[in-house]
Amino acid sequence: MRYRLTIEYDGTNYAGWQRQKNAISVQEKIENALSVFCNIKITIVGSGRTDAGVHALGQVAHFDIPFNDTINVQRLLCSVNSLLPDDIKLKSCEMVSNDFHAQYSAKTKTYKYSIYISDKLKPLKIRYAERVKSSLDFDILRAALKLFLGIHDFRAFSAGQLKNKSTIREITNINFINENEDVFFEITGNGFLYKMVRFIVSYLIAAATGKITLLDVERMLTEGRRVINIKLLPANGLCLMNVKYPNLSK
């Protein structure tokens, strides 16, 4: 029996999604709670990793149980959530086909990165948004957004070892919403490289504040190299909003 979970969490207090030997992760907390409920060791598979400090509104994971009796999912949600800390909660649980895989069945993911424009720190925003001191040129920002749409080599907008790994990804939607001092970037794609969303938003803001040009962004997309190095935005402003799948549920 395979079950699909949708999970919401504040990543501030965790070393990311993936279970680690010397740090507390979101995956570890959920696996421990599920193991208590099912009375067997449970391992979950997530749609992908989120880094330390990154949040999620709609992370997806699946797990298997080695017996044929179905689980009362409402009882599972209530019991497991009571075992989880306040900053991690299961939003839903459903039985799915064994063909479903949280990572490999995913078609698209949507991330949101939040900033606020201010010369002063805002204590209530520190956990979920990054401060930008300079005002943005929204016309330049709109033009820069269009450059990322479609299929590109995002090698220049990633971190880590990329040897023998494809860096081609497709961005199907990218936009921003401006609400007074707050700016929210939303990016949907068929997959993302390590720190790719944070790099994209970092360079969007750099273009909109005059630190780089649109030509610089174009060169990075066409040449696959970082022509100008800028400071990477931190993890606190990033949130995994949702993961979309074909209809594989029973």
Task: List the catalytic residues.
Answer: 51
Backbone angles phi, psi at 142, to 5 degrees: -60, -40
Long-range pairs of 85-90 with CB within 8 A, sequence gap ≥ 24: 85/29, 87/9, 87/10, 87/12, 87/13, 88/7, 88/8, 88/9, 88/10, 88/26, 88/29, 88/30, 89/7, 89/8, 89/9, 90/5, 90/6, 90/7, 90/30
Tokens of 64: 């298997």
- Count how many Cα atoms sit within 13 Å of the Cα of residue 128 in the half-sphere of its side chain: 13
Q: Parallel, antiparallel, or unpaired: how do β-strands 108-117 and 130-132 relate?
A: parallel
